[in-house]
Amino acid sequence: MEPVNIGVVGLGTVGGGTVDVLHRNSAEISRRAGREIRVSRAAVRDLDRSRSCDTSGITLTNDPFEVANDPDVRVVVELIGGETTAFEIVMEALEQGKHVVTANKALIATRGNEIFRAAHERGLVVAFEAAVAGGISIIKILREGLAGNRVKQLVGIVNGTSNYILTGMHERGSDFEPMLREAQALGYAESDPTFDIDGVDAAHKLTILASIAYGIPLDFSAVYTEGIGTIQGKDVSYAEDLGYRIKHLGIARRRGNRVDLRVHPCLIPETHLLASVDGVMNAILVEGDAVGQTIHYGAGAGANPTASSVVADIVDVVRTLTADPGNRVPHLAFQPTALTSKDVTPLGDIECAYYLRLLALDRPGVLAEIARILGENNVSIEAIRQQGTKNNDGNVSVVIVTHKTREMSMTRAIGAIEALPAIAEPVMRIRLDTLEA
């Protein structure tokens, strides 16, 4: 069969890695795809810059639309990120009858509904395995491998940068800033690292995973999102003392007719497999009614792991070039006409346990007042500890772990505790989850 020409938009970390992998493994890739795959065209921002990958045989341009409009290109690989120019390039490629591969989670999470509609109308594929969890083939697993299941819950460590930072705080007692700088230097962080730290990147990924798991349209705005910026070294070590690790989680959990969609830091038992997912590694727990709990682990970021998923998508698309569009796996796992919206649990209605850290005056009766407020709000205490010695103002840290309760009750209790004269600063609240459906 004729070789297939592909065009790559963006030769940064992931684009360079993709060209490398395609060159390095070209013989095996051709055997898998049934024909040779070659990068014939690529768009870069600066034509004069030296490149990490070998660009011989590739016609370079600084106009990405030239790639989307190139009549010799069958598949456009969008690797520039962002939601504006990337959207225009993808829509232009579809308009020109080209299949698309993208690693762009922000694009899929926020504009995926429009993009998939346009692709479906034209009988084209938009593949996005690399948009979630780098090298882990979680889209394929959910969409195909677990297609027989009713998904009960999906819990993921899906942001490598946050996981890298939390791991450094745990293992090295490091501060937040140096760990973030390291993650940036290693190429894991987004160009705007607040996306990693504030949980936006994880929320983009959870939006995509939840849609595929539950057959709901993509709705990024429905995800409650909290980052790791407020976690202090002492929270990490107090959690350890209690037998927990703090991880930044994306949680999509079926709850009756509703689904919880939330991204936030969370204490999890140190004995759980997810607790030992460290550094830039990602892992996603998927629990289906038939299969039970499964955990999928691998590198969540970086040039080669992400390129592994991009190239797998390219191979998939090339294989389907000759297939009837009606026989392809639907973009969001469910047939487009079968996607149905689901109510998302309002934050106040979620139920979980909590870790609370308070700075309280070390004098008789203070703990009794705190316990009274918790009790009045239907919050039951599992453990309580005074940590360290009192500071110069006579205040001491108190850590409380509660049993499961409603977020609404916890919020009310925290408000009342903060109003006590003996409480010196806002209460630190971190949710705690045993990861059972």
Q: How far apart are CA 80 and CA 95, in angstroms?
A: 19
Query: Binding segment for ligand HSE among 47-55, 158-166, 356-364, 395-403 (CB under 6 A)?
Result: 158-166
301 binds ligand HSE, rule: CB under 6 A: yes
Q: How far apart are CA 106 and CA 402, in angstroms?
A: 35
Contact (Cβ atoms closer than 8 angstroms) between residue 424 and residue 361: yes
Quick check: is 205 catalytic?
yes
Catalytic residue among 98, 105, 205, 247: 205
> Which run of H or of E encompasses 151?
strand 151-157
78 binds ligand HSE, rule: CB under 6 A: no
Q: How far apart are CA 253 and CA 153, in angstroms?
A: 4
67 vs 166, which CB is nearer to ligand HSE? 166
Q: Which of 13, 137, 153, 161 binds ligand HSE (CB under 6 A)?
A: 161
DSSP 214-228: HT----GGGSEE--S
CB of 167 to ligand HSE, least distance (A): 12
Helices and strands (DSSP H and E) totals, the chain? 14, 18
Q: Which of 87, 116, 128, 188 binds ligand HSE (CB under 6 A)?
A: 188
Contact (Cβ atoms closer than 8 angstroms) between residue 133 and residue 205: yes
Q: Which of 129, 196, 260, 313 binds ligand HSE (CB under 6 A)?
A: 196
207 binds ligand HSE, rule: CB under 6 A: no
In the sheet where 37-43 sits, what is the strand order? 59-61, 37-43, 4-9, 75-78, 99-102, 126-127
Size of the site for ligand HSE (CB under 6 A): 11
CA-closest candidate to residue 107, choices 134, 130, 124: 130
Q: Which of 7, 15, 112, 134 binds ligand HSE (CB under 6 A)?
A: 134
Query: Binding segment for ligand HSE among 66-74, 81-89, 184-192, 403-411 (CB under 6 A)?
Result: 184-192
79 vs 314, which CB is nearer to ligand HSE? 79
300 binds ligand HSE, rule: CB under 6 A: yes
160 binds ligand HSE, rule: CB under 6 A: yes
The one-character DSSP state at 83 is: S
The residues annotated with a catalytic role in the active site are 205
- Binding residues for ligand HSE, rule: CB under 6 A, are 134, 159-161, 188-190, 196, 201, 300-301
